[in-house]
Structures are given as C-alpha cells and as structure tokens.
C-alpha cells in the first residue's frame, strides 16, 4: 500500500507547467516522449506570432489550456501551435527531447525558449514563443505566472529571463 501511495505522489509531481525533466540513460527514449511529426508543412512563423498575440492579457491559470478560462505556459504554447496543426508537448518537461535545439544567435521568430525554475536551474519549468528579434534584443510571448503579471504577455529576454534560459528549440523544421 505504501508503495502505491509513493507511486501516485510521484506521478502527480510531474503534472503541468513547472514539471521536472526526467533523466534518462544515454541511448534510451525518455519516458512519455512525444514523437515529433515527420514534417511540419506549415512554415509561416509570423502567422504563429500574430495568432499568439490575440491572447495577450488572457489570465494565467495553473494547468490551463483554454483561452476562455486561462493558460499556463505550456498550455498556451500547445494551444497556439495546435491551431496550425503543429503537435507539441503539453508539459515543459517533455520539451527536453523535442524539436531541434538552436543557439540564441540562430533563433527565429516562433522558436520556443525553455527556462529553468527560479529555484532550480536543472529543472525545466517555463516556456515561451519568440515573437520578435530586433537587432540584439529578443522578445517572447508567454503565459507568465509571476505575482504581478499572471497573464499572457510579452517580455524581453534579459535579466532573470536570460539567466534562467536553458535552451531554444525549433519545432517548425
């Protein structure tokens, strides 16, 4: 009985936006890995950003994936990409082995930025969509859970966001 309780608690700890990346041994498939589509035919990155911006101001709701009720970060990303028939994971932890990683220098609009938790750099806990690149400045749209924000908003990749950035992934190609 004790083992079942521990198992249930362990499974519940991996739900929603701030979920931990599961470790896997080299050469093995990470648990619950979502297989990437063979090819995404939709290539209009600007349309993805335009669509995402329609939801600016939508409230942040933990576990949310519905514009009428609110979004969490990964629910927002999944909702936007699903509109264009692009399948992406529902939780941030599942991005650890998803898409094609790229550098900040080679990032493009509609690439995804993954961030660590505030208190644990090794755990993926937040995601946003790059919505603008202006000279050396990168902006991203995300469902922010901060105490003063709690909504879909655009932020610049500086300060604490830059410090928490883990990687950028391309799910378009």
Is 73 considered catalytic here? yes
Instruction: Mark whether 83 is an active-site residue.
Output: no
pLDDT in the model for residue 43:
76
Q: Where are the domains of the chain?
A: 41-170
Candidates 17, 83, 131, 142; catalytic one: 142
DSSP assignment of 147-169 equals TTT-EEEEEES-HHHHHHEEEEE
142 catalytic? Reply is yes
Q: Is 41-170 CATH 3.40.50.720?
A: no
DSSP-derived secondary structure for 19-62 = PPPPP--TTSPPTTPPPPPS------HHHHHHHHHTTTTPBB-T
The confidence score (pLDDT) of residue 119 equals 87
> Residue 152's pLDDT is what?
98
The whole-number mean pLDDT for each consecutive block of 10 residues of the chain, a chain of 173 residues, reads 37 39 36 43 86 98 97 97 95 93 96 93 95 95 91 96 96 87
Question: Which of the residues 17, 83, 126, 161 is marked catalytic?
Answer: 126
């Amino acid at each position: 009985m004790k083992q079942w309780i521990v198992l249930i608690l362990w499974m519940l700890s991996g739900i929603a936006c701030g979920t931990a990346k599961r470790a896997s041994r080299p050469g093995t498939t990470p648990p619950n890995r979502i297989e990437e589509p063979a090819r995404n035919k939709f290539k209009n990155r600007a349309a993805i950003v335009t669509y995402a911006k329609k939801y600016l101001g939508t409230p942040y709701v933990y576990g949310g994936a519905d514009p009428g009720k609110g979004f969490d970060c990964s629910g927002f990303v999944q909702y936007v990409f699903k509109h264009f028939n692009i399948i992406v994971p529902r939780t941030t932890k599942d991005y650890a082995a998803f898409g094609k990683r790229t550098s900040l220098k080679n990032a493009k609009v509609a690439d995804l930025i993954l961030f660590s938790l505030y208190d644990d750099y090794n755990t993926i806990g937040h995601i946003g969509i790059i919505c603008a690149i202006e000279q050396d400045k990168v902006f991203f749209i995300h469902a922010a859970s901060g105490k003063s924000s709690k909504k879909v908003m655009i932020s610049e990749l500086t300060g604490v966001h830059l410090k928490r950035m883990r990687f950028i992934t391309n799910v378009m190609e």
